Structure 1
């Protein structure tokens, strides 16, 4: 096959011709002065989707997560999250730089926390312990292999946090992959969390952008924080238009992406070079190679066959399916995996 099959991430997706056409027709203005009608429309649309008061368009999911942490905490507080969380591994310790807080990283169940784990992690109120002020859930959990929380699991954690006076934030970078798998609604999520971050530039196929969703008061503060972080944008309605198009047209495709990832997992289970496949039911596949095979060696072999993927450890590899992976691409990948000789 001459075509490059890129399984590095769902962030490699590019706008479709239809999305690009929609973007070019956007009405724009200066968003710092709240005069970009397309950004205003996107922010209102997303807040309404989740049944929350307001939302804020930002350049990245890292920015929305970091703003959420700052909104919900004070310096010297502590945030509870799983040890595989994106906010711990992939945001440059921004929690310490921007908010002056620490993380209490919990060894959860493949990226997932439980009420019992959270209750055990909450600090006693003393003069020498940090104050537990926030819990962050990542759904789905990237580093754990695309594992996800059910609605009931999130509701139970929400009830726990409310009873303890602790805020609850959702890192929902890939929450729409979970929604199409589990069948609950965005409005149900809005009832559970104090703030939610969603990403438009992964499986949804927009070129850039994330939104932070919360109360009117908290989003007003978040706008100030966004400006302080250099995230104030001007005529960014062209980008917001891509997000509107993605939310209106591209969500159903995510179920296909999840299904394709499941087919790859099944294929890998028959491959003798695979030691272990991480559990997951969304569009991320992470697996460990047998002793003596490094991830870099494996990636080089696939690259020679026009398949791109990413190392997630010395002997760990990640595939991510997305809207650009067609049926013939998937068949080629699965046939090749079954013929590799290690």
Structure 2
């Protein structure tokens, strides 16, 4: 069987998770009557220190609901470089909300001073900046943790300019474990937070948008508009609840495995890899040749990786790969690069 390091979304539900799903108490969530889903929403809101939460099928939907609920058509949203909501969500913000993006900083992370530079002056002929979005951890920069002090300063600047702050926390679980800060501490500066149960935690499906009661009520209507209102969704919520309660603490293992993979591959010929960037469960490295070619060669040997650009390769550790498997995968990739640098 292949060692799959393409993403932490490839995990299979455990036997205990399948049992929880099979035994879930359910009701019609369009009427607000699914007890398991209601329990999940209460629990995730409490963990993040917010008033309410809304379960949605995907992280894309939770991010887009946050944008729809906090902007008007023609507005501009300030993001970090290669933010998920701009790069990997099929142009949804333009199609659904009619907004455009302005990029602040380089490498995905930015600070309050950089935000100030990105905010448009007020004029009828300029787009109105209305929302700022930060991503923690930042996928395209290799799973870096967005420093809380920077997020706090960004929030202060945003509020001083009348802007809302959205936190794309698809992997906020990893940021919490890596930083030693609670989920509530990391979420506190933001008006809205998106979290994903299928990234890192191993749930088969589902994300949540978290924020004030007023925001979540607006998002609930928008979710219905997008076809996201579900009936007996407790079957899905049970998997997410099991993941939330049982799989957060073990993320430290994924981080340790990613670090080992990075240190092994970093010494191979033709590899550029900033070890300081390996802070969580994602390893992003550059090769001199073709990333696609390296991924094909690795796949032929039973190791699955992702090409993230012409010369950029990503490996993601997760609960379905053991340390021995990561060790074998890292050794194989390093050997391939020594035989014929990509």
Normalising by structure 1, what TM-score? Answer: 0.96
- Contact 1:147 / 1:282 at 8 angstroms: preserved in 2? yes
User: In the TM superposition, what whole-angstrom CA distance separates every residue of 1:182-220 from its partner, at most 9, and x where no partner exists?
Assistant: 011122134211000000011100000000001111100
- Counterpart of 2:231 (choices 225, 231, 234) is 234
Distance 1:53 1:269 in 2: 44
CA contact (8 A) 1:10 1:202 kept: yes
Is 1:213 the counterpart of 2:210? The answer is yes
The CA deviation at 1:275 is 3.3
Given candidates 163, 169, 174, the residue that maps to 1:172 is: 169
Q: Aligned partners of 2:108 and 2:153: how far apart in 1?
A: 16
Give the length in aligned residue pairs: 337
For structure 2, the residue ranges without an aligned partner over 5 or more in a row are none
Equivalent positions of 1:1-342 (< 5 A) are 3-108=1-106, 110-277=107-274, 279-290=277-288, 293-340=289-336, 341-342=339-340
Asked if 2 retains the 8 angstrom alpha-carbon contact of 1:283 and 1:321, the reply is yes
Question: How far did 1:32 drift?
Answer: 0.6
Given that residues 47 and 54 in structure 1 are in contact (C-alpha distance below 8 angstroms), is that contact kept between their aligned partners in structure 2? yes
Structure 1: distance between partners of 2:293 and 2:61: 34
Supply the distance in 2 between the matched residues of 1:309 and 1:191 (Cα, whole angstroms). Answer: 35
Change (3 A) 1:20 1:177: same
How far is 1:338 from its partner? 3.2
Alpha carbon RMSD of aligned pairs, Å? 1.2
* CA deviation profile, 1:111-149 (whole Å, cap 9, x unmatched): 101111100111111111111110000111111111121
The secondary structure found in structure 1 opposite 2:139 is coil
Q: 66-75 or 270-279, which moves further after superposition?
A: 270-279
TM-score by length of 2: 0.96
1:277 and 1:288 in contact (8 A); partners too: no
| Aligned-pair CA distance for 1:286 | 1.1
In the alignment, the residues of structure 2 paired with residue 175 and residue 190 of structure 1 have an alpha-carbon distance, to the nearest angstrom, of 9
Say if 2:260 and 2:327, in contact at 8 Å, map to a contact too: no
